[in-house]
Structure 1
C-alpha cells in the first residue's frame, strides 16, 4: 500500500507529507501493539483521548516498548525524505485501483495504518453520553432495621489476583482471601457499578447508591481517593456526592495518605468509608524510592509491596480502634497484564484482567464462601447497612463482566462460575 501510494503521488509536492502522516499512524499503532499485544480498536482510540494524560505517563516510562517502533518508523521516514522518486510507469488507474483494493480488503491485509484510520472513523460514531443514570424508582427504599457497625471498603487499582502473581504477599496470606470477578475491565465502569450495585453499566440507579442508603440509616459517609481529579472525572457523577459527608480528592498518588485520613475519622460512630488507592496504576511508580529504569515486572512487584504495607496498616487501625462491629473489605477494580505474551495494561476480556483479589477482615460474618464478584460485595454491604433481613444471593451459573465503555459499546463476556 505504501509503495503504490508513493508511486502514484511521486510527482506531487505534497506526497512526502502524506507519506509521513501515514508513517505517524504506523508509529501509534506499533506502539499500541507492543504494549497491549493486539491491534488497536475504536474503543481504545476513545479511551486514549479521554485519558490522554495517563496514556503518556505510562508510555513515557516504557523505553523498551517504544524504542523499536520509533526506530523503524524514523528510518522509513528518513528514507522517504531523502530518496527522490520518479513517476511510476504503471498506469495511474491501476495504482488507484490497487489503493482501493487495499482499503476494501484491509481486514485480510492487516495494514496497521489503514486499520488505525478505519478504527478512528468508527470511534467518531461512539456514543459519548454517560450511562442511563436513573433516579426514578425505589425512592421510598428504607432500611429494615438499625445497624451498629463500621464498614470500610478499600478499592485497589490494577491489582492482580493471587493466582496471577509470582510472589507471595502477606496481605493475601494472613487475612481471609479469595479471587473474585470484577464488574468490568476498566475503572470508569467497574467502580460506578460497584458503588451503585449496577447489574450493567446502562442500568445504574443512583437510588441504590451505597452512600445514599448509608445516610438514610444514620451512617456517616466518607469517600477519600489518593488519585487526582482527572482520574476521578468519569467516576464522580456516579458517587452521589451530595450524600458524602467527607469527600476528599487527595491527588497525592501516595496511598500512605489514606492511612492518615482514616485515622482522622472517629470509628465510635457508624461509618461507611470508601478509600480509593493509587495502587498498581501504570506506570507502576507510585511508591517510595521508585526507579523508572526498573523493568515493568520489578516496578509492579515493588508497588505491590507498598500496597501490602498500606493495607496492613489500614486493617490494623480499624481492628484496634473500632469499638463496635466492623467489616473491612479490600478489592481491586480490575487486574493487569505486566508482560505476559507481550501484553501490558488492561481493558481486555482476559482472566488476568477480570480476576481480582478480595481481602476480608471482620468481627462479623463475612460470607466469604458465597462471594463471587463485585456485585456480591455490594449486596454484602447492602445487608450490613440494614436493608436486608438476611444475606442471600441470587443463584446463577455465569458471571457477566463488562468492558471499558459505560455505554456498553464494547460488550461483555459471561464466565462460568
Structure 2
C-alpha cells in the first residue's frame, strides 16, 4: 500500500513537471509575441495537469514518449502558425496542409526564421521529457488499459460534434492553450467538416439559378479576363499607395474607357475565389451551382460563339483542385505554367501569358482568361531580377521591410504585364476588346505578426483591385457604374456575363448590397464573412460560422 502511494505521488510529481514544461513553452512564447499575452490561470493549468497525469500513467514508457512527442509537435505547429498568421490553426487547415503541401512549403521556406525559436523550445521540451521518463520506469504507477480510455476520449470528441450537428462552425480561441485548440479543432474537422464534405451536404447550399437570358447573339468582341494572384489593392499606386507601383494603370485612369473600383473578393484562397468568380457565385455554399454549370463563364461564352482560352502561369499541381470547378470541357485551349517549367510544382513567370497571346486567333470573338502567379509568396520568386525596381536604398520610407519591397516589385511587374498585354492585343486585332482585371484574393503584407492569406478576420485579405478597360472602340459603359466605391467578385462576374451577351442583372454593376467572402473551404464550412454597408458606406462585418 505504501509503495502504491509512493508511485501515485511520483506520478503526480512527474505530471506537474511535464505540465510546467508545456506551460512554460506556451507562456514564454506569449510574452515574446506582440499579439498574445500571459494568460495562465488555475483552470487551464489543472486541465493540462490531468491530461499529463493520465498520459504519465500509461504502462509503456515508449507509448508515453510517442504521445508527448505528438502533442509537442502539435504545439510546435500551433506556435509556428501563430508566428506567421497571428492565429492558432483553424480546423480545415490540417486538411489543407496535406492537399496544399507544396504551396505551404514554398511559403514557409521564405520565412523559415520564424521557426527558430519555436523549434528550440520544442526540442528542449521533448528532450526534458525524455530524460524524465528515462529514470522513471520503476518509480511510476502504471494503470492497465488507460491507453484505451484515452483513445476512447479522442474518438468521443468528434463523435460528440457529429451527433450535436451544430450549424455553427468552430474557430480557434486565442486564449485557449495550444493542445486544447488542437483537440477541439481536430474534433470539429473529423466530426463535422469531413462528414459533410464526404456526404456533400453542408447545410449551407444555395438554390441553383438558371443561366441568364441571352440578349445579344454572338457579339463581335474580345473579352480578356485577367485574374491576379494575392494582389492587395492597397499596395497599388492606382489606389494611392505611396510607392509608384502601377505607372501604366496610373497613366490611363482618367481615360473615358477605363473604370476602376475597390474590389471585394469572394474568397481568401485561390481554390475558393477563382471557382466562385468564374461560376458567378454570390454566397457559399455555391457547389451545387458550380456542378450545374449554369453560370460557368466559359460555358456561357462557348454557347454564345466565343472561342475560349484559359492560360495560367500557375503550375499543374497548383491547379489540381481548381480545375474541377471550371467546366473544362468548354475551354478550347488550356495551358499552364508547367508547360514551360516542365515541373508540376513549379509555376512560370507571368511573361508566359504574354507569349500565349500570340497563340490566340483574334479574328474570331474570344473569351480569354489569364491567371497570374505574381504576387504569391515567395514574392521574390514571382518576378524577373530586372524588376527589382524598388530597394531599401531608393524608397523614401526606410522602415519598409524587404518583404514588402519584394511585394511592391511584384505589383510593378504585374503592371508591366498588363501594359504589354494591352499593347500586344492592339497589334493583333482591331476588334473591340475589353480587359477586366481583379485578383483572386489579397495578401496581408507589412505586418510582422499577421502575414499571408486565408483568414477572414484580416480585412486586407479580401481587398482586391478591379478595373475594366476598353480598346479599339470598346465602350466600358461608365453609366453602368455608380459612385459607390466597392464592387464584389459576384458583381464583376456579372460584368463579364453582360459583355458575353447575357442579361444584365443590375442597374449598376457595383450595387450596394450584402457581399459574402468565403474562408478556405468552398462549401463555407470553414466560415463566411458577410459585409454590409451603412448609409455612409462604411463596412459592417458579420462572421457567419
SS in structure 2 opposite 1:337?
coil
- Aligned residue in 1 for 2:442: 335
SS in structure 2 opposite 1:407?
coil
- The answer as to whether partners of 2:348 and 2:373 remain within 8 angstroms in 1 is yes
Alpha-carbon distance between aligned partners in 2 of 1:107 and 1:378, rounded to the nearest angstrom: 35
Deviations 1:368-402 (A, max 9, x none): 54661111111111111111279634754432222
Instruction: Give 1:178 shift.
Output: 2.7
The alignment of Structure 1 onto Structure 2 pairs a total of residues equal to 410
Q: Which has the larger displacement, 119-128 or 377-386?
A: 119-128
Matches within 5 A, 1:194-343: 194-203=277-286, 204=289, 205-251=292-338, 252-284=347-379, 285-289=381-385, 295-340=402-447, 342-343=449-450
Q: Provide the TM-score with structure 1 as the length reference.
A: 0.86
Q: Which of the numbers 516, 525, 533 marks the counterpart of 1:400? A: 516
Deviations 1:76-133 (A, max 9, x none): 22222334555889999xxx9xx9xxx99x9696221332233123212313356999
Alpha-carbon distance between aligned partners in 1 of 2:464 and 2:434, rounded to the nearest angstrom: 19
SS in structure 1 opposite 2:349?
coil
Instruction: Give 1:23 shift.
Output: 1.3
Instruction: Give 1:306 shift.
Output: 2.2
- Aligned residue in 2 for 1:128: 197
- The answer as to whether partners of 1:31 and 1:65 remain within 8 angstroms in 2 is yes
Alpha-carbon distance between aligned partners in 2 of 1:128 and 1:136, rounded to the nearest angstrom: 19
Deviations 1:210-236 (A, max 9, x none): 111112221111011111222212221
- Aligned residue in 2 for 1:364: 475
Alpha-carbon distance between aligned partners in 2 of 1:301 and 1:219, rounded to the nearest angstrom: 36
SS in structure 2 opposite 1:338?
coil
Alpha-carbon distance between aligned partners in 2 of 1:35 and 1:344, rounded to the nearest angstrom: 6
Report the structure number with the largest CA radius of gyration. Answer: 2
Would you say 1:414 and 2:530 are equivalent positions? yes
Deviations 1:48-80 (A, max 9, x none): 222111111211221221111112111222222
> Structure 1's 108 and 88: CA in aligned 2 closer, same or farther, altered over 3 A?
farther
> Structure 1's 244 and 397: CA in aligned 2 closer, same or farther, altered over 3 A?
closer
> Structure 1's 109 and 416: CA in aligned 2 closer, same or farther, altered over 3 A?
closer
- Aligned residue in 2 for 1:173: 250
Instruction: Give 1:256 shift.
Output: 0.5
Q: Which has the larger displacement, 42-51 or 220-229?
A: 42-51
> Structure 1's 146 and 27: CA in aligned 2 closer, same or farther, altered over 3 A?
same
- Aligned residue in 2 for 1:159: 231
SS in structure 2 opposite 1:386?
coil
Alpha-carbon distance between aligned partners in 1 of 2:494 and 2:201, rounded to the nearest angstrom: 21
Instruction: Give 1:356 shift.
Output: 0.2
Q: Which of the numbers 92, 111, 125 marks the counterpart of 1:76? A: 125
Alpha-carbon distance between aligned partners in 2 of 1:143 and 1:187, rounded to the nearest angstrom: 31
> Structure 1's 38 and 135: CA in aligned 2 closer, same or farther, altered over 3 A?
closer
1 or 2 for the larger relative contact order (CA 8 Å, sep ≥6)? 1
Would you say 1:64 and 2:113 are equivalent positions? yes
Would you say 1:373 and 2:488 are equivalent positions? yes
Alpha-carbon distance between aligned partners in 1 of 2:67 and 2:513, rounded to the nearest angstrom: 53
- The answer as to whether partners of 1:218 and 1:270 remain within 8 angstroms in 2 is yes
Deviations 1:267-295 (A, max 9, x none): 2321100011111112222222499xx94
- The answer as to whether partners of 2:469 and 2:476 remain within 8 angstroms in 1 is no
Alpha-carbon distance between aligned partners in 2 of 1:390 and 1:23, rounded to the nearest angstrom: 53
- Aligned residue in 1 for 2:169: none
- Aligned residue in 2 for 1:191: 274
Instruction: Give 1:361 shift.
Output: 1.9
Q: Provide the TM-score with structure 2 as the length reference.
A: 0.67
- Aligned residue in 2 for 1:117: 183
Instruction: Give 1:24 shift.
Output: 1.0
- The answer as to whether partners of 1:185 and 1:354 remain within 8 angstroms in 2 is yes
- The answer as to whether partners of 2:245 and 2:408 remain within 8 angstroms in 1 is no
Q: Which of the numbers 61, 68, 71 marks the counterpart of 1:13? A: 61
Q: Which of the numbers 384, 393, 396 marks the counterpart of 2:499? A: 384
Unaligned runs of at least 5 residues, structure 2: 1-14, 20-48, 151-155, 158-171, 254-259, 339-346, 389-400, 534-545
Deviations 1:340-385 (A, max 9, x none): 2501111112220111011332132254546611111111111111
Deviations 1:284-338 (A, max 9, x none): 22222499xx943233233223222222211222234330211101110001112
